Amino acid sequence: MECGRPPFSANVKEIALNGFEYKVVYVDFRGRISSEGAEYIRQGGEHRTGFVRGYLDKLGEDGWELTGVLPLHRPESSYFVLKRGRTAAAKASEG
């Protein structure tokens, strides 16, 4: 067990008590991702799927988990819904 880190069961209880936080991301597979005012544009030569996978990998490193995809009427674009457990520290910093 790492020093300063609660056991796994304590992490689960903390998340269960404090709920989740959510993120909605607009993904256009032609080369644009937009989330909470930040825009990410695909670089020339970068594969479309690799561009999106790289973005999702980064979010995963930050604890985000993809929970749903809502395809839009516009071809090649969707909303991705992600969530992660809200810890007591995050809840306290909100107010």
Range of the domain at 37: 19-94
Report how many domains make up the chain: 1
Q: Is residue 24 part of a domain?
A: yes
Whole-number pLDDT of residue 1 = 44
Chain-centroid distance of CA 88 in Å reads 19
Q: What is the full per-residue pLDDT of the chain (95 aa) written as tens digits?
A: 455 555 545 455 555 556 889 999 999 999 999 999 999 999 988 899 999 999 999 999 999 999 999 999 988 999 999 999 986 556 666 66
Q: Is residue 23 part of a domain?
A: yes
Whole-number pLDDT of residue 72 = 94
Q: Is residue 59 part of a domain?
A: yes
DSSP string for residues in 29-95 = TTTEEEETTEEEEPPTT--HHHHHHHHHHHHHHTT-EEEEEEE-SSTTEEEEEEEEEPPHHHHHHH-
Q: Is residue 4 part of a domain?
A: no
